[in-house]
Chain A
């Protein structure tokens, strides 16, 4: 068992992490792709299914869209900083991104509170009682899709936080880009969810 350090010759030099994250993103997008396919099938089967989208708050959704788009910008800035190896700026832009993620979650929970207080919950018993069980299913779907997305936001924030703690000491700067890629994916999923759940009535 040798303990020598040798560099292993290989054919290509794409940064390994970037490749891995790309594949990961592809896998994640397909999970949400499946959800969107379900959305389409539900709407095709029950025309009244989508009408419930009128009860989601478009202004708050739009606000969240802007928040996430801004966070995409800040995460790009932190990447730029990481190329220039400006550690302070990385920390600055990263914490801005995490802050925006937090803001997204706050707005989202305000929305959830509003909706739950109007009786739109995961199972919406009040809608079922009114005989609008199809609408109740829309809300189940809404909570599933946005909940799964919010989970990704939280995971993304955790990843960015870990990356930031490393980058603060100048370690693993290439991870800034990887975290950013993941964060962009979280944004893109929202860009799909927003029109489907808020605008398409």
Chain B
């Protein structure tokens, strides 16, 4: 391959190098995370102190409240979690981990980032449209999402919901192109000797996530088209009085929406596997079982979607099937988590920042995963549906998975891509602030949910039973914790910039890890390897009994 000279534009902006594209995704994602975090700050303040003017925002009406919760969900899923965990890390790690120079289709890769970037801009513009941003909930259930917009003098096209749909559509196109790249690269460009069962688990999981995404998003793309026509052309695909069916959209949405959680979960579990094995100095426990269980979970993931609709008018007899499926899906994921715990067992554990984040992530995710059993049971869901119990549950799933996973990965791979270590002291303060404030924010919400506090309410003053004291205190505690959670991210930003200049120089393999990305320079040159590696063993050969060093790089003879 010919790596010709680059100028500023081809090196940093319209780059085809997977490392640059990966960083572009991650930076965009982190900026969007701040936007999403800001939104959550504003509406949490409104919940804690309804009707009062909010510092850094001003007065909030119900329209903005609805728009902000809608966009908070959308941004955190599609403009923070997806671009970072799947596109960003996938781009950064896959080619290096399999020992090749770049993605299979570098130009497609570049185009897919720029499509994603355009989608980000479309989304941000929607905040400033005359009618305000989309306010139908992040699930976009019709008929509300179709009828709620107030057409401007340009017609229904320039409304929040249309822009949101366009932005989501562009994002999906971008991620689909990314998925094509991942699969082709992994199947085709592995280094000699890199057999399927020698691949690092991250590579497996990122590809599985790509496959699940591709297999579940198609129907929603069709559904989004139908919604666009409903809004802008006056068709009635979801209008029950014109031969349409609002429930249809729910099916299309959740057929994608549920697997989407696993699309985020799998890459994050992949990151976890890399880190946990490296920092326990032990082979990952039951490598093949983990892969098989992930395959089973992927298959199950596309047949459990209707558990989001237990009370939304699906046939009650059908609910049983989905309840069984949902509860059964706990088994493969439990197997994966148990294998990780078994990896820790008997290990010589090095408690560095990546490992701390990973352990905190697993521990917190246990709460999220186990509370899923409550909601997967259709009977209890009658009570818990649409309450803060659900909110607490999915924040306990998504924050450990997305945010802790991302931070673990940043602390682990930062030396590889910037050549210097992140500061451990700032890291520890950042960790404890984030970890404690996260629990202080999310855990009390289980209790307010069980008290019957339902979600997406701008102001609870209409509901006397929900304005009683413990619940109001929970709202305030949660809000304060959210503010701490968001503002402590400043430490990470400081750490990243400080360490970029002053951090300890990392060297090639600061963590003494086995996978291929650690066997080249930090940061890797364009083209990744001086000598393209050949692979002789699996990714997790740590602490072999008859070897003095406790690691054994995959490419070492």
Contact = CB atoms under 8 A, between A and B. Distances in A.
Interface string A123-154: 10000100001111110110010001000000
Contacts of B217: 30
Contact of A34 (B2, B5, B189, B223): B223
B61 interface: no
Contact of A122 (B188, B221, B235): B235
A117 interface: no
A3 B236 contact: no
B484 interface: no
B21 interface: no
A10 B180 CA distance: 18
A174 to B, nearest CB: 14
Interface residues of A, number: 48
Contacts of A5: 1-2
A37 B252 CA distance: 9
B222 interface: yes
A16 B1 CA distance: 14
B76 interface: no
A45 B245 contact: yes
Nearest to A5: B2
A144 B225 contact: yes
B192 A11 contact: yes
A167 to B, nearest CB: 20
A41 B3 contact: no
A73 B242 CA distance: 42
Contact of B222 (A8, A11, A38): A38
A10 B100 contact: yes
Interface stretch (B44-52, B337-345, B376-384, B524-532): B524-532
Interface in A20-66: 20, 23-24, 26-35, 37-38, 41-42, 45-46, 49
Interface string A79-108: 000000000000000000000000000000
B184 A16 contact: yes
A13 B189 CA distance: 8
B233 A122 contact: yes
A3 B5 contact: yes
A20 B190 CA distance: 15
B134 to A, nearest CB: 22
A133 B223 contact: no
B218 A20 contact: no
Contacts of A6: 1, 532
B214 A1 contact: no
B180 A23 contact: yes
B399 to A, nearest CB: 30
B218 A30 contact: yes
B187 A14 contact: yes
Contact of B243 (A19, A23, A136): A136
Interface in B382-430: none
A128 B234 CA distance: 12
B525 A1 contact: yes
A20 B3 contact: no
Interface in B239-261: 241-245, 248, 251-252
A23 B214 contact: yes
Contacts, number: 151
A10 B236 contact: no
A184 to B, nearest CB: 18
A169 interface: no
B260 to A, nearest CB: 14
A22 B104 CA distance: 14
A55 B529 CA distance: 63
B218 A33 contact: yes
Contacts of B105: 16, 20
Interface string A166-197: 00000000000000000000000000000000
Contact of B219 (A16, A20, A30, A42): A30
Contact of A10 (B6, B189, B221): B189
A37 to B, nearest CB: 6
A19 B180 CA distance: 9
Contacts of B219: 30-31, 33-35, 37-38
Nearest to B219: A34
B189 A42 contact: no
B191 interface: yes
The residue in B4, B101, B236 that gathers the most chain A C-beta atoms within 10 A of its C-beta is B236
Contacts of A3: 2-5
Interface string B106-136: 0010000000000000000000000000000
B188 A16 contact: yes
A23 B183 contact: yes
Given A3-B2, A20-B184, A23-B184, A38 B214 contact: no
B214 A14 contact: no
A140 B235 contact: yes
B252 A34 contact: yes
A11 B194 contact: yes
B197 interface: no
B459 interface: no
A23 B2 contact: no
A192 B46 CA distance: 51
Given A9-B532, A23-B183, A31 B218 contact: yes
Contacts of B235: 122-123, 137, 140, 144
Contacts of B237: 38, 137, 140-141, 144
B179 A27 contact: yes
B533 to A, nearest CB: 9
Nearest to A31: B218
Contacts of A14: 187-188
A30 to B, nearest CB: 3
Given A16-B104, A23-B214, A1 B194 contact: no
B176 interface: yes
B226 interface: yes
B26 interface: no
B498 interface: no
B466 interface: no
Contact of A144 (B100, B226, B243): B226
B229 interface: yes
Contacts of A28: 218
Given A20-B105, A30-B219, A45-B245, A8 B183 contact: no
28 contacts: A2-B525, A2-B527, A3-B2, A3-B4, A5-B2, A9-B532, A10-B100, A10-B191, A11-B191, A11-B193, A16-B104, A19-B187, A27-B176, A27-B214, A30-B219, A31-B222, A32-B222, A33-B219, A34-B221, A34-B252, A37-B219, A38-B223, A38-B252, A41-B248, A123-B235, A133-B236, A134-B243, A144-B225
Closest 10 CB pairs of A and B: A34-B219, A30-B218, A137-B243, A134-B243, A34-B222, A140-B235, A31-B218, A133-B242, A11-B190, A23-B180
Given A14-B188, A38-B223, A42-B243, 7 more contacts: A7-B1, A16-B188, A27-B176, A33-B219, A34-B220, A45-B245, A144-B225
